[in-house]
Amino acid sequence: MTAPDAGRGIGNGEVTGTFGFPRDSFRILHVSTGNVCRSPITERLTRHFVVDRLGGLLSSGLIVESAGTWGHEGAPMEANAETVLADFGADASGFVGRELLDEHVIMADLVLTATRDHRAQVISMGHSAGLRTFTLKEFTRLVRAIDPATLPPLEDGVVDRARALVRAAAALRGWLLAPTAEADEVYDPYGAPLPFFRSIGDEIHEALDPVVTALTGVPART
């Protein structure tokens, strides 16, 4: 299976439009605090799982990035985060931390945050972000309630399917509330030992699996 490229997006060589991104694309932005632990793990796992299920060609319309609300601009990923990615066979190379900017939110079709506070910060930036910004675990809960048969088939393109998925999730948000305040949180492992990083990696993996299945229409390999 072809590995994701070391850049931010899945698939290069497309006809590009504004900001150099493919014209027919869907951009997923993962947000945490420093952009050196949780959001890099989530970014690279998303890319890895999508390419694993679809291959590079079919997944080329998806662009997966990350940034931090207090991002360490230019910083490398934490070493323990790299180890977690290696555990899943995902590529950690070439990562550079970024601070969240208005342009990141403007360009994103879906923003997935580590916590409710991050979600609130993204929405407070404006740019009509409310309907496309969720915590990762919130989005997972909503996606589980969506009938896959109501989404466009993959033959229509992964971009159309992704856009429909976000619309469906936004429509359900007021009906499927979190059972507890903590249920939508992915806690920060910064400075923690490797076992805690691995537990956070497992949480992220568990949350991402149904999301990637819904995006691609392809379940994880058993």
Note the pLDDT tens digit of each residue in 165-203. 999 999 999 888 888 888 999 999 999 999 999 999 999
* pLDDT over 50 at 13, yes or no: no
SS3 63: strand
- Strands 26-32, 62-68: pairing is parallel
Q: Supply 1's token pair.
A: 């299976």
Residue 17's pLDDT band (cuts 50, 70, 90): very low
Query: Per the confidence metrics, is the pTM higher than 0.85?
Result: yes
Alpha helix ranges (H) inside the chain: 38-58, 79-87, 102-107, 116-124, 136-144, 158-172, 194-216
The answer to whether residue 19 scores a pLDDT higher than 60 is no
Buried b (16+ CB within 10 A) or exposed e, 115-153: bbebbebbbebebebeebbbbbbbbbbbbeebeeeebbe
Q: Residue 65's beta-bridge partner residues? A: 29
Per residue in 89-98, pLDDT tens? 999 999 999 9
Q: Please calculate the CA angle 121-59-139 and round it to the nearest 5 degrees.
A: 35
The phi and psi torsions of 60 (rounded to 5 degrees) equal: -70, -15
